[in-house]
Structure 1
Amino acid sequence: MPQCAHVPEGAVVELTALPRTVPPRVSEHGPRLLRESRAWARAALQPFVEANIEPFLADESPLWMSHCFPDADPVAVRPFYDLYQIMFLLDDLSAVPDARPDGRTLAALAAVLSDTRRPATGLEHLASEAFLATLSGDPPGLAARTRAGMATMLNGFTEQSALWDRASTARPLTLARAMPVRERAIGIAWYMTNPEHVHSCDMTGMREQWPLLRELATALAHQTWFVNDVCSFRKEHFHGEHQNLVCVCLTSGATLQEAFSLVSGWAAQMQRDYASLAALARDDPRGARPPVATYLDALDTMLAGANAWQYSTPRYHGPGFHCPPTERSRWALFADRTELLDPGQAPP
């Protein structure tokens, strides 16, 4: 297994500002949806986890949906809260060797959610019910894309763990090997269908007719992925999960600042690419007609909301942390928290 460079507690990194977006907003329904989903998770998920589930619930992970889609109907958003509880929990467990679901378990779950196998275990029934609730009323094309995306992510969890376990100091894990696997495991193929579900704007046909929409979604997907790996590094590294792109850079000899600057630079460039492509789409007459116009608006709010959520969520930073993505910042990284430093402040 490769050795990710040791990062001492209190290590400081500097982040350049991300480009500006539409103003980020949060749905007023978010706190209620989170309370309801937490109650559901305590009853439904605790039996599948040996440890107390409360620290996991304190991460408030499903609030991602209320940041990304503040204008969506809360009835449409509510099932995603429960599904995200399951998926974030599986993601966390996949990083813990003693608790990690084995490849067969995840492959079976992927088959169930892609509708090629009937659920057999309690977890499969639970996940299937939660997943089907998010697909309710969806056109067949969107449902099929979503099922395929979910299977890609779940199989990616196993693939990513295996890639790291097989790597060795004799052959360090490189970005060329890690990035295609990380892209699958991060869930892009699934979560990039979220705006079409919650805003009832199926783009399956338009994506084929107008390739610009696929390119636009890809730019946003990669932007959210790179921001995720910058913001989640602290949590993942100090808890022994090293598939993050920042960790991969450290494995091959980059300094912590070099790794952060590289991955955050990719995020900023993808955001600039997204803005250019979005402008082209809106200048085209097809971009002014519903449901495409609805979709374009949803992507804009998703970009702003994902940036705001990832830069401030307790899942990645601990409670009470808030950092505007569009401002230059310095972070001190600890096992249990991120601390925001003034630009000239010395580390604590």
Structure 2
Amino acid sequence: MSVEKLQPFPSQFVLQDLTAITAPVFEFKLNPNEEKAWDRTSAWFDNHNVYHGKKKAGFLSHRFDSYAGMSFPDADVDHLDNCIAFFLWAFSFDDLSDEGALQSSPEGVKRGVDISLGVLHNPDAPPPKFPYAAMLHDIWRRFRATASPGACNRFKRAVESWMWSQVEQSANRATDEIPSVEDFIILRRRTIGGPIVEAMIEYSLDLQIPEFVWDHPVLEGLSKAAIDIMTWPNDLCSFNKEQSDGDFQNLVFCIMLERDCDLQTAVEILTDMLAQRVADYADLKKQLPSFGPEVDLELARYFKALEQYVQGTVVWYYYSPRYFRGQDVSNKKDLLVPVYERTVEPAVAQPPAPSKSLFNFPLLSSIKHLYVVPAVACLLCLAPLVFSSDVTQQIRQITAVFSA
């Protein structure tokens, strides 16, 4: 399905209060350790030099510290510190491919993924120069220090799946292709990082849940439902920002194309899908079997934490300026949202080229690998003349990928 077939957007749309849809089943709670944990994590993030100046201030204004406080309300300060670090890493890496220097370069995203996955497979090696991989290196070290072996295995597999989903979505984003609703829901469970979140929840409370439990079909169904319930509100809250940035990899747009409907109708369809998914989760939870007193107790703690995470996530979508650009959303009932002006046009499908460089410059695609780093270095010398300081900084970081 092609972006070009989307119906024209209206000047505004109405969004129901999504937190009210999820609240009857998913509890909301705040962590009292948030401020203390953030003092540690903010210094840690500064040391990795991912962002500078206005770009850094804009990124941190999204309040990932509050997100962690809402999503891991029962974690102690040490675990919450690492949970905030996890958010900073995940969102900054996601932004690198969504709207940063790698937005139109699946090859660049893949190279960054390769380096980052090396951290998971060789955790005792020195941290890489690539700052996103260096952040993951430290998060993984702290995770392994207290998490169960099963949680470690799940985290490792989940991060690998999430990072490859970034490559897949980057490839979709580089064209005008939009997947079907069914295909996108499956992909979105990976791109949202749902299985990573589940492993982080285990880690946050140092839960001890036997491996065989996770393969039970009811738990698998609950997992998919919970991930959908935290994901679909994200698509409803973020599609406006994304279309403004020329990004149409969103379930709202999949519905518009597949149902051949307008924007408001697609928003209402997805909102109804969300309400049904909440009901699905509640029904599935009633079917949860007993695995013995000790396991049942750990599972009860897990599902309580999972539900708190989901509701904290949905609340944060409104609380953070990341999606509503400063609009007053205190009254979330039937919120009237202006459709943002398009600042970047969607990509137009191009015939495949024999090869592409990281920056899509035809010159670099014909230069042998030996000369790539010097060539990029020359570009960096000219960067202050043609790039903003934030983009220049991102390109400097990516140069480290080539030389790693």
**Structure 2 portions without partners, runs of 5+:** 342-404
1:122 and 2:127 equivalent? no
In structure 2, what is the equivalent of residue 131 of structure 1? 140
Q: 1:178 to 1:295 in 2, by over 3 A?
A: closer
The Cα of 1:303 is off from its aligned counterpart by 2.8
After superposition, residues 60-99 of structure 1 pair within 5 angstroms as: 60-96=63-99, 98-99=101-102
1:19-46 C-alpha deviation (Å, 9 max, x unpaired): 5235412112223433443333233133
The Cα of 1:298 is off from its aligned counterpart by 1.3
Q: 1:334 to 1:198 in 2, by over 3 A?
A: same
Higher deviation after alignment, 116-125 or 77-86: 116-125
The Cα of 1:220 is off from its aligned counterpart by 0.6
Distance in 1 (CA, whole Å) between partners of 2:287 and 2:294 is: 9
Distance in 2 (CA, whole Å) between partners of 1:104 and 1:64 is: 28
1:37 and 2:41 equivalent? yes
The Cα of 1:205 is off from its aligned counterpart by 1.8
Distance in 2 (CA, whole Å) between partners of 1:40 and 1:229 is: 30
Identity among equivalent pairs (%): 20
The structure having more radius of gyration, on CA atoms, is 2
Q: 1:202 to 1:159 in 2, by over 3 A?
A: farther
Select 1:259's aligned residue among 261, 266, 269: 266
The answer as to whether partners of 1:93 and 1:99 remain within 8 angstroms in 2 is yes
Which letter does structure 2 place at the counterpart of 1:18?
I
The answer as to whether partners of 1:173 and 1:251 remain within 8 angstroms in 2 is no
In structure 2, what is the equivalent of residue 346 of structure 1? none
Q: 1:209 to 1:191 in 2, by over 3 A?
A: closer
TM-score by length of 1: 0.82
After superposition, residues 153-192 of structure 1 pair within 5 angstroms as: 153-168=162-177, 173-192=179-198
1:7 and 2:9 equivalent? yes
After superposition, residues 254-293 of structure 1 pair within 5 angstroms as: 254-281=261-288, 289-293=296-300
> Which has a greater percent of helix?
2
The Cα of 1:94 is off from its aligned counterpart by 0.9
Q: 1:14 to 1:91 in 2, by over 3 A?
A: same
1:145 and 2:145 equivalent? no
After superposition, residues 97-108 of structure 1 pair within 5 angstroms as: 98-100=101-103, 102-108=108-114
The answer as to whether partners of 2:146 and 2:203 remain within 8 angstroms in 1 is no
In structure 2, what is the equivalent of residue 345 of structure 1? none
1:151-198 C-alpha deviation (Å, 9 max, x unpaired): 111111110120233445xxx643244333333222112112221111
Distance in 1 (CA, whole Å) between partners of 2:294 and 2:12 is: 45
Q: 1:321 to 1:261 in 2, by over 3 A?
A: same
* 1:331 alignment partner, SS class: strand
The answer as to whether partners of 2:232 and 2:270 remain within 8 angstroms in 1 is yes
Distance in 1 (CA, whole Å) between partners of 2:272 and 2:319 is: 19
1:87-131 C-alpha deviation (Å, 9 max, x unpaired): 101111211264437133233134224316855433223321123
Distance in 1 (CA, whole Å) between partners of 2:323 and 2:92 is: 14
The answer as to whether partners of 1:24 and 1:305 remain within 8 angstroms in 2 is yes
